[in-house]
Structure 1
Amino acid sequence: MSRPRSIDKIQNSELVTISELVQLSGMRYSTLKYYTEEGLIPFEQVDNRLVRRYPRIDSLKRLDEINKLKISGLTIEEIKKILLKN
């Protein structure tokens, strides 16, 4: 297993792991995993190790959008319809 990257490296990386996205967003791992499974957060699957890498900037923007929509009272299903219509 590799050493965890420093927060400085994470903040400057194009792609991050879900654990690093947890650090950056302050959200729970289980929440991010659920959003990923629902197709709300974009990711890339790198090589055969099945490690998902999330585009840092796009993922954080998407999480911000989801939070704003949740605060406005929408359900995850309603959020999916809005965000995935494009």
Structure 2
Amino acid sequence: MKEEKLVRCRPCGYVMKESELGDVCPACGLPRDVFEPYREKVSSGRLRFLALDIHPIAIHLSQTFVALVPFLIIFHYLFPDFEPTIIHSV
């Protein structure tokens, strides 16, 4: 697998693939000549791990749990005898 060269906009720091670079920076609108070659400072193993997006999944899962617990506690106190009906197919 061939790695694409990356370029970075010097003024705003936007990093993108050189093949996708147009006439202007998509982030700040400055001309193409403000871009410089860029090399990742993170190891390839770490980049593979970061590409899995584990951090956002872990954060949002825990935030959902924190938001759901008070609702479940309130639901339990409002409906103490609640038992879900299980429907069995005959």
The alignment's TM-score, normalised by the length of structure 1, stands at 0.25
Q: Which structure has the highest helix share of the two?
A: 1
The alignment's TM-score, normalised by the length of structure 2, stands at 0.24
Tell which has more relative contact order, 1 or 2 (C-alpha 8 A, sep 6+). Answer: 1
**Which is higher, the Rg of structure 1 or of structure 2?**
2
